[in-house]
Chain A
Amino acid sequence: MKGPLDYLARWPLRLWLAMVGAFLYLPLLALVVFSFNDSRRITVWRGFSLRWYAELFDDGELVAAFGNSLVIAAASTLISLILGTLAALLLWRFRFAGKAPLEALLGLPIVVPEICLGVAFLVFFTAIVPWPTELPWPLNLGAIIIAHATFSFSFVALVVRARLASFDGALAEAARDLGAGEWLIFRDIMVPHMVPGLVAGALLAFTLSLDDFVITFFTSGPDTITFPIKVYSMVRFSVTPAVNAASTLLILLTAGLTALALWLQGADIAKQAA
């Protein structure tokens, strides 16, 4: 039986959903399909081939750019995980003068337009604190790592703070009464409770870094190309299935990471329910 609110069972709405779905997914589907095309064209199907993927792995610059992206994502994730967790703990535990402005400040990196942050880092790392370009790899990526950590640690703080809201303060009290010091309480009680938030925050920071184009665009130099920057220059100069193949790989990577995050959080929710 159809209830009055069973909107999903009505055909106009089904049609609408199908249209929106097609709008969202057909371009991506076409992109993936034509990455396997045995032709230089990306609109006419000429048979299945993996040659564009083979070409990717032969492209030294692209492989190096991918390596850079992974190093930047790993380093900025580590930094933003530490900073974000500390900020979350600070706001969760203490009441102090200037707390409200600090909370607002912590939210700023999330709302400031990317282009503004990008040009600010460009000026900062060229005119104010020039980041030396001749540093050995991976130190030459430092400026990009700093930029990425700056915009992602606010997100980590948000996620970890949400998790801390469910922490039972009595546990810490009990541990303190039994003689545990701050460090021991942090390591053995707080951290285990925070783990789901930490994992979710870390995966968020990692994907944000891996996906970022605009801010990286302004902080990277000729020797510090990341994967999105390289793909951008490929898109600008030629539209070949090689770009489709590179995109497909990146889609798989982020989809995999996101599925992992969802699965971990799902497992956490299931555990709480049990």
Chain B
Amino acid sequence: MLQRPSQAPGVFAAVGLPPVVWLFALFLAPLAVIWTYSFGENRTLVDIAITGSWGNYARALKPLYLAILLKSMGFAALTTVLCFVLGLPVALAITFASRRAKLLLLVAIMLPFWTNLLIRTYALMAILRTEGLINAGLGALWGIVPGLPPFEPLPLINNNFAVVVGLVYVHLPFMVLPLYAALDRLDRSLIEASLDLGAGHLATLWRVVVPLALPGIVSGIIITFIPALGAYLTPDLLGGTNSQMIANVIERQFRSANDWPFGAALSFLLMYLTFAALMVQAIISRRSAEREGAR
């Protein structure tokens, strides 16, 4: 039975006050400050006047910045699709594996996840660089065949390609784990029935497994999309001048361009996009819960 605060006021205050005060003073307050700044203007370098204007948001939606915003969403969407394509067979394999193999595969998927993001990105840099492992390997192979023109290293880094590879590399576990959780709950007899009745594996996958696991698939998609959208380190280290994402633009406003109000407006746009993605997920999971209930 849950208690009301009046039944144990002392305990209620003791357990409630510290976390609530902390959340308001050190989490909401900093966010509120930049929210206010997003309606302000730079008077001098350090003096920001809160004028209540929408100018920063208007500027953020001008073609230059809108293009970066759209590009970030495109990168995040492409990353999510690639993670899904790569991850679905992996999640299927884990679901139907023996107990021992299941544990092993899960740990294998999680292990890179626990490795520092910076280190994983650096590891990719070392592979993709002009003088990196892939180009060195290709160059060596090239040298075996006589009579070829000198080897031109492939441009694998400092471009959009590297950013998407990096984002997929970093976010794959975010997709596999929710997919596995959803598939693991499926009623296997439905899949067996579909196979027995003559549907092939791909047809079964597409027409039975995917519709049944849809809520889990949606959460996998959202859980992958959100961090990919706000990624900073991956485009910073692997991207070129043309593959900057929204987080890099925000960073620049705060650390070098010193336009805090504009940076604040961009951060809040990113935050609203994140919340919109979360709401989509909430609506879909509620709908499927209702459908389950109606059954």
Q: Which of A60-68, A88-96, A132-140 contacts B (4 or more CB under 8 A)?
A: A88-96
User: Distance (Å) between the CB of A202 and the closest chain B CB?
Assistant: 15
B122 contacts which of A82, A89, A124, A235 (Cβ < 8 Å)? A235
Cross-chain contact A8 with B119 (CB below 8 angstroms): no
From known contacts A108-B27, A119-B263, infer whether A24 and B112 are also in contact, taking CB-CB under 8 Å.
yes
A114 contacts which of B97, B129, B232, B255 (Cβ < 8 Å)? B232
User: Distance (Å) between the CB of A228 and the closest chain B CB?
Assistant: 5
From known contacts A94-B3, A112-B274, A169-B1, infer whether A211 and B30 are also in contact, taking CB-CB under 8 Å.
no
A83 contacts which of B22, B114, B230 (Cβ < 8 Å)? B22
A27 contacts which of B124, B136, B251, B263 (Cβ < 8 Å)? B124
Cross-chain contact B126 with A13 (CB below 8 angstroms): no
From known contacts A93-B15, A239-B129, infer whether A150 and B123 are also in contact, taking CB-CB under 8 Å.
no
Residue of B nearest to A30 (CB): B133
Task: Give A31 to B128 CA distance when docked, in angstroms.
Answer: 12
From known contacts A83-B19, A89-B15, infer whether A114 and B230 are also in contact, taking CB-CB under 8 Å.
yes
Cross-chain contact A90 with B16 (CB below 8 angstroms): yes
Q: Render B32-65 as a binary contact track against A, CB cut-off 8 A, 1 for contact.
A: 0110010000000010100000000000000000
User: Distance (Å) between the CB of B153 and the closest chain A CB?
Assistant: 12
Residue of A nearest to B7 (CB): A94
What is the interface size of chain B, counting residues whose CB is below 8 A from a CB of the partner?
A: 89
Cross-chain contact B15 with A8 (CB below 8 angstroms): no
Q: Which of chain A's residues 73-128 have a Cβ closer than 8 Å to chain B?
A: 82-84, 86-87, 89-90, 93-96, 102, 105-106, 108-109, 111-117, 119-124, 127-128
Residue B11 interfacial (CB < 8 Å): yes
Complex interface: chain B residues within 8 A of A25 (CB): 112
Residue of A nearest to B48 (CB): A127
Cross-chain contact B3 with A247 (CB below 8 angstroms): no
Residue of B nearest to A96 (CB): B5
Complex interface: chain B residues within 8 A of A146 (CB): 26
Residue of B nearest to A79 (CB): B22
Q: How large is the interface on A (under 10, 10 to 19, 20 to 34, 35 or more residues)?
A: 35 or more
Complex interface: chain A residues within 8 A of B182 (CB): none
User: Distance (Å) between the CB of B185 and the closest chain A CB?
Assistant: 15
Complex interface: chain A residues within 8 A of B126 (CB): 27, 30-31, 34, 42-43, 239, 244
Q: Which of B188-196, B213-221, B284-292 contacts A (4 or more CB under 8 A)?
A: B188-196
Complex interface: chain A residues within 8 A of B120 (CB): 27-28
Cross-chain contact A95 with B15 (CB below 8 angstroms): no
**Among the interface residues B31, B101, B169, B195, which one has the most CB atoms of the partner chain A within 10 A?**
B31
Cross-chain contact A119 with B122 (CB below 8 angstroms): no
Residue A157 interfacial (CB < 8 Å): yes
Cross-chain contact A17 with B27 (CB below 8 angstroms): no
Q: Render B218-250 as a binary contact track against A, CB cut-off 8 A, 1 for contact.
A: 000000001101101100010000000001001
Cross-chain contact B119 with A251 (CB below 8 angstroms): yes
Complex interface: chain A residues within 8 A of B116 (CB): 210-211, 213, 228, 247, 250-251, 254
Task: Give A211 to B153 CA distance when docked, in angstroms.
Answer: 33
Spell out B's residues near A (CB within 8 Å): 1-5, 8, 10-12, 14-16, 18-20, 22-23, 26-31, 33-34, 37, 46, 48, 86-87, 89-90, 92-93, 96-98, 101, 105, 107-109, 111-112, 114-120, 122-127, 129, 131-133, 136, 169, 172, 188, 191-192, 195, 226-227, 229-230, 232-233, 237, 247, 250-251, 254-255, 260, 263-264, 267-268, 270-271, 274, 278
Spell out A's residues near B (CB within 8 Å): 4-8, 13, 16-17, 20-21, 23-28, 30-31, 34, 41-44, 82-84, 86-87, 89-90, 93-96, 102, 105-106, 108-109, 111-117, 119-124, 127-128, 146, 149-150, 153, 157, 169, 182, 207, 210-211, 213-214, 218, 228, 231-232, 235, 239, 243-244, 247, 250-251, 254-255, 258, 262
If A20-B86, A247-B122 are given as contacts, then 10 extra A-B residue pairs at C-beta distance below 8 Å, sorted by A number, are A7-B96, A24-B169, A27-B123, A30-B126, A87-B15, A90-B15, A113-B247, A114-B230, A149-B22, A243-B122
